[in-house]
Every structure is written in structure tokens, then in C-alpha cells.
Structure 1
Amino acid sequence: MREDFLAGAATAGAPDVAHSLETHDDVRLLRSGTPPWAIDRFPLPHEPLSEDCRVDVVVVGAGITGSLVAEAVTATGASVMVIDRALPGRGSTAASTAMLQWEIDTSLVELAGLYGYERAARIYRRSHEAASDLGRLAAALRIDCGFVPRATLYVGGDDVGYDALAEEHALRERAGLPGALLDAATLEERFGIRRPAALVSPGSAEADPVRLSLGVLRTALERGARLVEDDVVAYDSTAGAVHLALASGRHVEAGHVVLATGYAMPSFVPSDLHKVVSSWCIATAPQREEDLWPGRCLIWEASEPYLYVRTTGDGRIIAGGEDARTADAAERERLMAEKIERIVKKLRTLWPHGHGRVSHAWSAEFGETTDGLPLIGAVPGQPRLLAAYGYGGNGITYSYMASRMLAAEIAGERREWFDDFALDRDGPKG
């Protein structure tokens, strides 16, 4: 079946396409439209805070990062409170395409140019380890989230041809990372994709991000964590504790506070490396199995702006990209139709098979850094306040990495390599 994907682009505004705008102001700041994940009210025990209290750790934000941090910290026996002003996992987490890659937005060649080969290779190996460990965690916790191991296909595009990918492959091999270099003929023979070259690498995965996030959070709650619907309006960090004032009028004292609020960090968490951009995504209606590419690998095209593609368990194609700076949610929403059309055209060029009926369209704001690495660690000058953000295209992989790093920090088990991701690290500006 070879139906023009552009035929589906015209349906993006049709009544049967799920792209209605969110009316909840807090959610609308983060995302617009409707992703294909089941964003409903999963039964998680939550409560208003009835009295002032003290806990070992407060996690602000109940998305995927907050959920993973709560799970990691409760595993140590510490008391944990998770505070969120909205429903858990319904903000930026729900907008994720959940392509759980170990490959970083910044190529190993580029990262080595910024920080030297040894440091760059170490960072890549950490990311590979995080992706693997995340899969083991999902299996150990028996989370029903459609978690499926996938290979990644990094295909050439624009100015990235065979020679550039060969250089990247050589550095990855030197670092002990898995993968193979495919020339144009081999790429077309194995995957039916026409590009100058590609790197195919095992070790990544896909999942339903909402179900993954809520499954992890449910585990933390079963271990004794508390989920509170409220908003933190003030932080006061002293030598011995952090004092939080909540919108409800209640106060909480904590030994440590983890800020897992995505790109919307409090003003006292500055970084010259961070910026906020918007991204747009589509999902098709389910495809026939024979109209999908072999192995259903995660596809990442080296174009500007880039394109990323995956499938879902029920055979949909998810595609996204077209990242751009936007001033606010209204501008992001105004660009929706134009961005969807561009994504559909690029998807048709990459994979001109199957049908093009677009069933879901959405957009979201997210944070990225100039070096492609996350910002994880203590707020400078405030060791009891910890933050994790700036994930770029590696959101959930970095969320897992952050949860383990911050749990170790809280337990007093800091490692030297944590400096690679510090909020105040020296890095490229811009």
C-alpha cells in the first residue's frame, strides 16, 4: 500500500484528529494538542496536606523525572513527599515521544571537540548504561507500559553523509559502544530507506511515557511516599534544611528538595547553557505491519531541523521535530498546522509506504542545552536544593540518569563524574 502521506496532512484539522487544545492553563504552558497516550485519571492515592510536616526529601514535580527520583530515593528507605499542582504525568511527560535512546543530540565527534575524547566517551557510555538500566528497572517493577527494546537508525541527511557517519562510527567503536556503519546500498537493502549512509545501534527502546511514569510513581507510593496536590510558592534553604511554603498555606521542612519541574525551573536556578524551544509531533492511525520498516527501529535523521520517527505497539507511526523558539503557547499553537505539514512531508520522503492518515497532533515546550547534555545536580551555593532539567531529545534516558545521580547525592555518595552534568559546569555558550 503506497498512499501519499500528504493526503493525511490535510486531515490534521479534521474533527476525527485528536489535537484539541488543553484548557488547563498549567498544562497549556507545557503542551498543546493530544498525543496518542492514554492521558486519563489513573487511580493514584493523593491528598491535600492537612498539617505542616517534615520529610527527608521533597520532590517537586510528578512527571517522569519526579517519579524516577521518588522511586530511587524510597528504595533507600528515606521518607519522600512528591508535590505537583497538576495531575501526575500529564504535563511534559505526556508530550514525550518516548524514544529511549542512548545516543545524544550532540554527536560523539562534536562532543569530543567540545570536551576532549576521554570525557566525551565517558559521557556516551553513561548514557548507554542509563538506557540499559532503565529497561531493567521497568522489567523489575513489572510496569505495563509497552516497553520494547529497539535499535536506533541514525540516517544521514543534509550535510551528514557517509564520511561524517564513518568518523562518528570510528569514535563509537573506540569508546566500546555497539553499532554498525551502513552504506547507501546496504541501508536500502536492509531497511528500504534511501539515504547516503546510516549507523544502526542496539540498546535503545520505546514505551508509553505516561504509563511508565505513573507505574514508577505507583511503586514509590507503595513504599510510603506521599503525593500531594499543591504548589510550592517559596523556598528557604538553610544550613540544615529546606523550608517550603505551599499555596495552600501549609509548610514543609525537608532535608533535601529535588526540583523536577522540567524547563519551568524557579528563577534561582540559572544556567547560561539552557534555552527553551518548542517541538511538534504527529501520530498516524494504525498501519499494516507489512507497511512498516523492518525491526521498527527508532529513526533519527541528521537534518536541520531534524526528524525523529518511531512506531507504537498498535502500529502507528510517530514523527516529530521542526524545533523552533516560540514566545508563548499561543504562538506554538498558531504554528501547529504549518509544522504538521512539514513533518508529514519529511516523513513521506523518508518512508513513502503505508497510509498518511494523521490521528493525533501535538506540540510542547522543552529545555535543551548548548552542549546537548543535561543539567543535573545541586543548585550552586545551595547543596540541599537539587535540580534536573535541560534534557533535549534524551528526556527519559536522562530522567533515569538524573534519578540515580540525585539519590546518590542525597545519600552522600557523590561521584566525580557527576561534574560532567553540573548546573554550573563550564561549557560552550550560545
Structure 2
Amino acid sequence: MLDPQTIRHDDLRHGQGPWLPGIARPPGRTLAADTRCDVVVVGAGITGALMAEHLTAMGKDVVLIDREREGFGSTAASTAMLQWEIDLQISELAALYGFEAAAEIYRMSFKAVEQLGELVGQLAIPCGFSPRPTVYLAAGEVGPRELLAEHEARRRAGLPGDFVEHADLLGRFGFDRAAAIVSPGSAEADPLSLCHGLIAMATKRGARLLREEAVSYDGSGATAAVTLKSGRVVEAGAIVLATGYVMPDCVQDDLHRVASSWAVATVPQAPEALWPGRALVWEASEDYCYCRTTTDGRIVFGGEDEEIEQPEAREELDEAKTEALRRRLHALLPKARLDFSHSWSGAFGQTEDGLPLIGRVPGHPRLLAAYGYGGNGITFSFLASRMLGALIEGREESWFRHFAIDRPNPA
């Protein structure tokens, strides 16, 4: 039996983001007796919600478990910039795994955002989902020459986008940077409403939502089982771990590490303070900041990441990080009002190669997991739901190997 780590939602994030519950979802219930299902999903954040929706659409009998309010852990801390561009440039990824592998990974990420948009439209989830371009700004040691090389690598991979020099960038968006890559195909959403809308659809199809705490997993036998703190057992054909960055010992991987990020949301801005097209904006530097807008005209601005896991250490930096974000926001958008309505911080999992850990847990054939999303949380969550759904049905594609939990560290 495998024991999960115990962590509360308050440890996953601190402060309050701008997302509020907007979609009714059935309350989680406790389990009165042992039960069975096809798949038990542990964790009812955005990954678990996408997983439950997809599995119920496949006709699976699903039990979805969370010890606290669904979506109010890491999901509520997400800035929900649904980008297909990942933390490592395609040229950096190619240096690790070869150009063809890097190109395939980027194309799968692009397709994931597109398919997520289609899903939200089909289900009519009111979550503020809007297609957006991205503006990838020169920053730090990454100047026009480096961005142009990255643009050429993307074009070779069949990915869309334009290299934009200073004058055009300033005229089109108002950003006083040396250059940028402007690309279509990304999106934004309200992550909490998206999560709750997916859960509502899954439960409408018969998924059972439990407000219970999982204390151990067994995925090594002829069937899988999750033991709850109440002593009840959920038996299943497979277990999916969708618990954010909180990984049980059996999923430990030398690629994975935990970091913390900080974010703020301004008061609603005057239209002239916002950039045209409300693109998703991020910087081409290791210590990058990123921003987007909300449907009511706020600017959500984040960054200042640190490799900190302990909640207390993260919270001690909240005030200093908020002020640092204020200065960086002013430097990028000098016309913006710097009054903040919300500020928050959260922990997230990331990997050395910028790719998630998705697939079967080695040595535990009925235990599947999805971790290490980095800056592409919801995009990789969608990708995980499709990959794990296929594995549960016994289907495996060649590209799944790029995200294998036991892939070797390329360093």
C-alpha cells in the first residue's frame, strides 16, 4: 500500500485570486460503505475535473475524491494562461531530445489548447474562455537575435507566429522591448469556473463526487484500491493521481522539483491602459513575468518564482514579492493603475526539461499519474486527461514516451 503525503489546500496557496465560484456543482458526500468503479480519480482540481469529464464521456464509472472544496487548491491559484508555448524554447528542448521530438511536443501542446477550446464550446461552460495570441518579449539575455532564431525553429516545426521588431511591437502593443514573437493559438479562462463546470458535467453523467481523504493506494494487483481515512475502500480497475505537486513516494522522479510563484490582480483598468487584443504576455528570460487581462478589465500579473516548497517560507516573501511585481508591472505598462484588488502565491511542480510527468507509475500498472506541469498547467492537464484515458483503454501512442514518468534525466 502506498501512503500519500498529507497537505491542506491552504498549504498550496496563500492569499486570494480573482476567481469566484460561478457554476453550481453537487456537494461532495461521504462514503457509507465500500464501493467499486471503473476508475477512481484522486484530486478534484482542474486535472481531476478534466479527467472525470473525459472518462465519463468514454462511458466509464468514475469516483472523484477530494478532501476539501473542489478546485480551491492549486487551481484557484492559477492565472489560467492557456499557452501552447512551454517553459523551454523549442531550440532548448531540441538540444535535449532532438529537433523532431521537440517539434512533436510543441505541436501536441498547440493541439491541446485547440481541443480544450472545442470542449468548452461543446459543453457550453461559462468560464470566460477566449482565444488569445501570445506576445513573447525579449528580456534579459534573450534579445532580437535569439528570438529570431527561436522563431525560425518554430517555423521549421510548422508552428505559427511572427517575429516583430521594436518599432512594430511598440506601435501594435505599446511594449517598449527590442523584439517579440507574436503567435496565435493560445487562450485564457476562469480556472475555477472551468473546473466546476467540468465536474458538474461529469456528475451529470454519473460520476460520484466524494469529500473524503485518501490515505493509501494499491495499484499493483489484479484490481486497484484506494483506502479512505474513514476506513472505507474504493476498488477500481485503475487509479489516477491528480494531486497537484503533492506526489506519493512511488512517483518521485529526479526531474521533478517544487517552486513557488506570486501573482496580483489590479482593479479594473481604463481601456487605454490595456494593450490591443489583450494578448497573453510573457518574457523570454529565466526569471520571467507574465500577464493577461480578465473579462472585467483587470490585469493579472505574475512571476518572481522561487524554488521554495514550504508554505511558511513562501508566505514570508508575499509582501516583498507583491512590491516587486508592482515595480515590474509599472515598467512594462506605465499607464496601468497599480492598485491591486487581489494578491496571492502558490506552489507548483515543474521539471528540469519543462515537460510534465504523465503516464503509468513504474511498478504499479494500475496506478496512473500526472505531475510537473510548470507554467503550462491547464494545457498539460488537458493533455494528461487524453493520454491517461487512452492508457486506461489499453491504447498507447508513440508520442506518450515524451512525458513518461520514468524517462531519463537528460542533464
Shift in Å at residue 40 of structure 1?
7.8
State whether structure 2 residue 380 is matched by structure 1 residue 402.
Answer: no
Residue 36 of structure 2 corresponds to which residue in structure 1?
54
Asked whether the equivalents of residues 71 and 192 of structure 2 are also in contact (C-alpha less than 8 Å), the reply is yes
User: Are the counterparts in 2 of residues 178 and 202 from structure 1 also a CA contact under 8 Å?
Assistant: yes
The answer to whether the 8 A contact 1:39-1:94 is kept is: no
* SS of aligned partner of 1:93: helix
Any conservation in 1 of the 2:330–2:336 contact (CA below 8 Å)?
A: no
Greater mean deviation of Cα atoms: 371-380 or 184-193: 184-193
Query: What secondary structure is seen at the aligned counterpart in 2 of 1:176?
Result: coil
Match for residue 307 of structure 1 among 283, 289, 302: 289
SS at match of 2:323: helix
Match of 2:339 in 1: 357
Instruction: Give me the identity figure in percent.
Output: 55
How far apart, in 2, do the equivalents of 1:57 and 1:43 lie? 20
> Per-residue displacement from partner, 1:63-112 (whole Å, max 9, x unpaired)?
00000011111111110000100110000000000000000000001001
In structure 2, what is the Cα distance between the partners aligned to 1:304 and 1:255? 42
1:264 maps to which of 228, 246, 251 = 246
> Is 2:230 the partner of 1:248?
yes
Q: 1:417 aligns with which of 389, 394, 399?
A: 399
- The alignment partner of 2:59 has SS state of coil
Query: Is the 8 Å Cα contact of residues 160 and 184 (structure 2) preserved in structure 1?
Result: yes
Q: C-alpha displacement at 1:41, in angstroms?
A: 8.9
Local SS of the residue matching 1:426: coil
Contact 2:220 2:365 in 1 (8 A): no
Whether 1:393 and 2:378 are equivalent positions in the alignment is no
Alpha-carbon distance, 1:385 to partner:
0.2
Superposed counterparts of 1:54-73, under 5 Å: 54-73=36-55
Alpha-carbon distance in structure 1 between the residues aligned to 2:34 and 2:239: 16
Query: For residues 29-54 of structure 1, what are the alpha-carbon distances to aligned partners after superposition, in whole Å with 9 as ceiling and x for unaligned?
Result: 10000000004894424211111011
Structure 2 counterpart of 1:31, one-letter code: R
Letter in 2 for 1:213: C
Residue aligning to 1:282: 264
Task: Indicate which of 140, 144, 148 corresponds to 2:122.
Answer: 140
Equivalent-residue separation in structure 1 for 2:49 and 2:8 (angstroms): 19
How far, CA to CA, are the matches of 2:44 and 2:176 in structure 1? 41
CA–CA separation in structure 2 for the residues paired with 1:237 and 1:408: 18
**How far is 1:415 from its partner?**
0.9
Cα distance in 2 for residues equivalent to 1:158 and 1:390: 25
What is the CA–CA distance in structure 2 between the aligned matches of 1:370 and 1:43, rounded to whole Å? 37
Alpha carbons 2:258, 2:309 under 8 Å: kept: no
User: Counterpart of 1:362 in structure 2: which amino acid?
Assistant: W
**TM-score, normalised by the number of residues in structure 2:** 0.97
For 2:208 and 2:172, how far apart are their aligned partners in 1? 49
**Paired position in structure 2 for 1:28:** 10
**1:418 Cα deviation from its structure 2 partner:** 0.4
Match of 1:423, SS state, is coil
Residues in 1 aligned to 2:286 and 2:244: alpha-carbon distance in whole angstroms: 25
What RMSD in Å do the two structures reach over aligned CA positions?
1.2
Q: What one-letter code is carried by the residue in structure 1 that aligns with 2:130?
A: V
The whole-number CA distance in structure 2 between the counterparts of 1:130 and 1:341 is 35
Following superposition of structure 1 onto structure 2, how do residues 122-201 of structure 1 map, counting pairs within 5 Å? 122-201=104-183
Partner AA of 1:137 in structure 2:
L
How much does 1:354 deviate? 2.5
How far apart are residue 189 of structure 1 and its match?
Answer: 1.2
Secondary structure, counterpart of 2:60 in structure 1: coil
Return 5+ residue gaps in structure 1 as ranges.
1-24
- 1:29-108 equivalence runs, <5 A: 29-39=11-21, 42-108=24-90
Q: Give the distance between the partners of 2:409 and 2:275, measured in 1 at CA.
A: 39
Amino acid paired to 2:392: I
> Which aligned segments of 4 or more residues in structure 1 are displaced greater than 3 angstroms?
39-43
Given candidates 341, 358, 372, the residue that maps to 2:354 is 372
CA distance, structure 1, for counterparts of residue 239 and residue 48 of structure 2: 11
**Which amino acid in structure 2 is aligned with residue 338 of structure 1?**
A
User: Corresponding residue for 1:3?
Assistant: none
> Match of 1:383?
365
Flag the 1:69–1:327 CA change in 2: closer, same or farther, 3 A.
closer
* Equivalent position to 2:318, from 336, 346, 357: 336
What is the correspondence of 1:203-218 to structure 2 with a 5 Å cutoff? 203-218=185-200
Task: Give unmatched runs, 5+ long, in structure 2.
Answer: 1-6
1:405–1:175 CA distance, 2 compared to 1 (3 A): same
Distance of 2:23 and 2:401 partners within structure 1: 39
In 2, distance between residues paired with 1:109 and 1:46?
A: 45
Q: What residue in structure 2 maps to residue 228 of structure 1?
A: 210
Residues 53, 251 of structure 1: 8 Å contact kept? yes
Q: Say which of 77, 85, 94 aligns to 1:112.
A: 94
The whole-number CA distance in structure 1 between the counterparts of 2:329 and 2:296 is: 19
Supply the distance in 1 between the matched residues of 2:163 and 2:321 (Cα, whole angstroms).
31
Q: Is the 8 A contact 1:273 1:428 kept in 2?
A: no
Which amino acid counterpart does residue 159 of structure 1 have in structure 2?
E
CA distances 1:356-388 after superposition (whole Å, capped 9, x unpaired): 111100000000000000000000111210000
1:212-232 alpha-carbon deviations (Å, 9 max, x no partner):
011011111111000001111
- Kindly provide the amino acid, as one letter, of the partner of residue 274 in structure 1: H
In the superposition, the TM-score normalised over structure 1's length comes to 0.93
Aligned partner of residue 392 in structure 1, secondary structure: coil
The number of residues matched between the two structures is: 405
Give the direction of change, closer, same or farther, for the CA distance of 1:327–1:396 in structure 2 (3 Å limit): closer
Name the structure 2 match of 1:8: none
Partner of 2:163, secondary structure, is: strand
2 CA distance for matches of 1:325 and 1:39?
30
Provide the rounded CA distance (Å) in 2 between the counterparts of 1:63 and 1:75: 18
